[in-house]
Amino acid sequence: MKNIIVIGGSKGIGKAIVQALLENNKVYNISRTAPGQQHNNLIHHSLDVLADVLPEIPSADALIYCPGSINLKPISRLKLDDFRNDFEINVIGAVKTIQHFLPSLKKGTQPGILLFSTVAAKLGMPFHASVAAAKAAVEGLTKSLGAEFAPLIRVNAIAPTVTDTGLASKLLRNDRMIENITERHPLKKYLQPNEVADLATFLISEKAASISGQIFELDCGIVSFKI
């Protein structure tokens, strides 16, 4: 049984990841709100990753950092604080948790770190300036730390397209918007949280032992195809 730390596992993609891992792993969930489920393999710590002291966990086989933001505005309406906040949530929070749990990961078995980017870091999209800039930094962090931690700790990231979570609810708030989002993707669909969780569980498993420093575009074809 692995010891897996999930940051932000109470909602959306993070919650789906926790649910996928619980049966066969000991999961430490760290988030401001409780995950709304109980399980013998689940240990929850309620705290703000950016503001509070992180708990001590002796040994960890994986660290998954799920927090993110979708702050979509024209550049003329974005404040400098918007950029700072997005960077804090997506990058500084990840750096803080990695630095804190690095000794724990070094004691783990084939340890791995998983971060989250977005398709908007590669596919230029209007109104995504703040979040795309922050997630591009996450991709740089992934590659840099993958090189730094090799061969002991693998580091990868998933860059999902629109996923049906509360965070993306404004993009999927009515039938017309859902239809538009669906049609924009070559595979004529958008993501469900469990699809992202499936890739996440693979990337921290032994089956991905030869994969590090990679950004996986879970994109329903929107980045790679022009149809």
Write down the CATH number for the domain with range 2-218.
3.40.50.720
What's the rounded mean pLDDT across residues 165-180? 87
Show the tokens assigned to 70. Answer: 């979708």
Distance of CA 42 to the CA centre of its chain: 19
Residue 15 has pLDDT above 90, yes or no: yes
Segments making up each domain of the chain, as ranges: 2-218
Q: What is the strand order of the sheet 154-160 is part of?
A: 42-46, 25-31, 2-7, 62-65, 112-116, 154-160, 215-218
Kindly report, residue by residue over 24-81, the tens digit of the pLDDT: 999 999 999 988 888 999 999 999 999 999 999 999 999 999 998 888 999 999 999 9
The answer, as to whether pTM is greater than 0.85, is: yes
